[in-house]
Amino acid sequence: MRFESPLVLLALLVLPLVFWLRYRLGRSGTLSFSSIAVAAKAGSSQRQQLAFIPSLLRIVALVLLVVALARPQEGKERIRDVSQGIAIEMVVDRSGSMGTEMEYDGAVSNRLGVVKGVFERFVTGGHGLSGRPSDLIGMVAFARYPDTVCPLTLSHGALHEFMETVHLAETRNEDGTAIGDAIALAAARLRTAEETLARQTGENSDKFKIKSKVIILLTDGENNAGKRDPLQAAKLAASWGIKIYTIGVGGGDGMMVMHDPFFGNLRVPGGAGVNRAMLEQIAKETGGIFRMAEDARSLHSIYKEIDRLERTDIESVRYMDYRELFVPFALAGLILLCIETILRCTVFRRVP
C-alpha cells in the first residue's frame, strides 16, 4: 500500500498539540473549597468513568480522516519488457489464391486460415513457440490494395479480434497481389515505431530503442497489382533499417474456393505459384531470409526459426495499477464523529 499525498500525514503530529491546547484553554471554571476529602470518598459514577469515550472517538475519527485525505492506494505491479524490444509487422496475402486448401491441426482449412493460426501462436506462444510478449506487433493484409488490420501494439490480447476481420478477396475488383504496396505500408508503420511505443507507455520516445524492426511477408503468388515494385519497396525498407523475412506458401497445386455472384462458391485450381526469385531477392536486399512453406508444419518450423533469430536482451519498464482505498477510512471516521456527537448530546451531556 502507498499514499498518493503522504505529506498530509504530518497532520497526525499536530493533532496531539491541538488536543492539549484545547484541554488547557477549554477548562471550565472552578470553585474553591476548604476540603474535598468527604467528596472524594464518595467515588465516581460509571458515567464519570466513561466520560473519556467521546474524546477518544473524536481522536480516532480525526486520525482516520487524515489517513483518508492522504489517499491510501493498493497497487498491483506489472512488469513489461519493452524498452529494447522488437517491432514486427506481419504482412499477409489475402488474395483469392490463399483460399487453396491446406491441412491444419488435423482439419482442412484454407491457406489464409492456417497463416492466421500459426501467426497467433507465434505471438502468444504454444506448440513449441515461446511467444513475443515484449514486442510491438502489427498486421497489414493485402490483395489488390493493402490495409492496416492491426496497428503496432503491445496489447496482444486484441490481436485475435483484429485477425478475425481478415477475409479472402471475394470479387475481381478486390482480388490481386500488391506485394510492393504492402511492403511500403508496413515499412512506413515501422519507421515510427518508437513514437508508437512512447504513446502506449506514456514515456518519452527518446527513452526507447527498438533494436530490430521486422516485416514478415507471407504470400502464395507474385506481384500483379499496386503502384510500387516489390524490390523498390524492399530497398526503401532497407534504407530505414527494416529487415524482411519472406515466406512463400504452397505453390500452384491444390484447389481454392472462389465466390461467384451467380454460382456461389466454386472450387478451382490454385494460382500460378510463388515467385521464389522475387521473394528471395527481397529478403536478401534487407538482410532477411526466404523460406518456402509447403504445409502448416513447415510454416510452423519457419516461425520457430524466425523466433530464434529475432531475440534480444531487453530492459524492464514497471507499471503500477492502483486502487483507491480512502473510502473505508473516510466512512469510518465520519461514523465515529456521528457516534461522538450523539453521545455528547445524550449519555455524556454536560450542563454548565
Q: What is the Cα–Cα distance from 147 to 169, expressed in whole angstroms? A: 12
Instruction: Decide if 110 contacts 257 (C-beta within 8 A).
Output: yes
What one-character-per-residue DSSP string does 184-232 give?
HHHHHHHHTHHHHHHHHHTS-GGG---SEEEEEEEESS---SSSS-HHH
Residue 284 has what pLDDT?
94
Q: Which amino acid is at 297?
A: R
Domain spans of the chain? 2-76+319-345, 82-315
Tens digit of pLDDT for each residue in 70-120?
A: 888 876 655 554 445 688 999 999 988 888 877 776 677 788 888 888 888
Tens digit of pLDDT for each residue in 219-261?
A: 988 898 889 999 999 999 999 999 999 999 875 444 445 555 5
pLDDT, averaged in runs of 10, over the chain (352 residues): 84 83 65 64 70 85 90 68 72 88 74 88 82 85 92 82 87 89 94 77 64 90 90 95 91 49 51 81 94 85 86 54 82 91 83 61
Residue 89 has what pLDDT?
93
Q: Take residue 116 and report the three cell numbers written for it.
A: 492466421
Q: Which of 253, 244, 270, 112 is closest to 179 using CA atoms?
A: 244
Q: What is the Cα–Cα distance from 238 to 318, expressed in whole angstroms? A: 33
pTM for the model: 0.59
Q: What is the CATH number of domain 82-315?
A: 3.40.50.410
**Beta strand 242-249 with 212-219: parallel, antiparallel or unpaired?**
parallel
Residue 200 has what pLDDT?
67
